[in-house]
Amino acid sequence: MLSAFTLAGCESYRPAPPTFYEAANKPYTLDAGDRVRLTVFGENGLTNTYNVDQAGTISVPLIGGVPVRHKTTKQVEAMVTARLRDGGYLLKPSVSIEVDRYRPIFVMGEVGAAGQYSYVPGMTAQKAIAAAGGFTSRAGQQSIDITRQTEGNSRTERVPITTTVLPGDTIYVRERFF
């Protein structure tokens, strides 16, 4: 009976689809929780760091709210440049945007200290788990679940612990069966 249960458990495991991993190779897009550094060359009053709010916008003096959710930094640069120029505020604005702080990741389940952690580019699930105090004695250490926003949809996949983590991911370490 136990062997039938074990086999049934193995049959339900399927590798994550390629689209789940492709998100790591696409240009980074902004979302709530990110903080960006906006530089308008020659305009110290506009150069500042801006938090992306829950609505997915940053509030820039003179031009107001700029929708940045699901946009790359290059796309936001173009939008801010156009609004400063077209609004008559600057003749030839030179704008640069960079990510100052990425939105956090979350580590849950069988780890030493579940919670919210800072994202570092190139971070793997294994490194995130280490930051969260490592595995507990009850943790299943071969694979974990990652919940990720891809193309506007949330999806959870079972992946190896060597999988690259993205900002906003939630990592869940399951309890082992035996």
d(CA 71, CA 76): 7
Match 């110290």 to its residue by tokens: 44
Whether the Cβ atoms of residue 159 and residue 125 lie closer than 8 Å to each other? yes
Whether the Cβ atoms of residue 122 and residue 67 lie closer than 8 Å to each other? no
Using a pLDDT cut of 90, give the percent of the chain over it. Answer: 72
Whether the Cβ atoms of residue 32 and residue 53 lie closer than 8 Å to each other? yes
Q: What stretch(es) of the chain map to CATH 3.10.560.10?
A: 103-173
For residue 118, report the phi and psi dihedrals to the nearest 5 degrees: -70, 140
Tens-digit pLDDT profile for residues 95-138: 999 999 999 999 999 999 999 999 999 999 999 999 999 999 99
What's the pTM? 0.82
* CATH code linked to domain 103-173: 3.10.560.10
* CATH code linked to domain 35-101: 3.30.1950.10
Whether the Cβ atoms of residue 41 and residue 96 lie closer than 8 Å to each other? yes
pLDDT score recorded for residue 5: 40
Taking 50 as the pLDDT cut, the residues of the chain under it are 1-11
d(CA 28, CA 14): 27
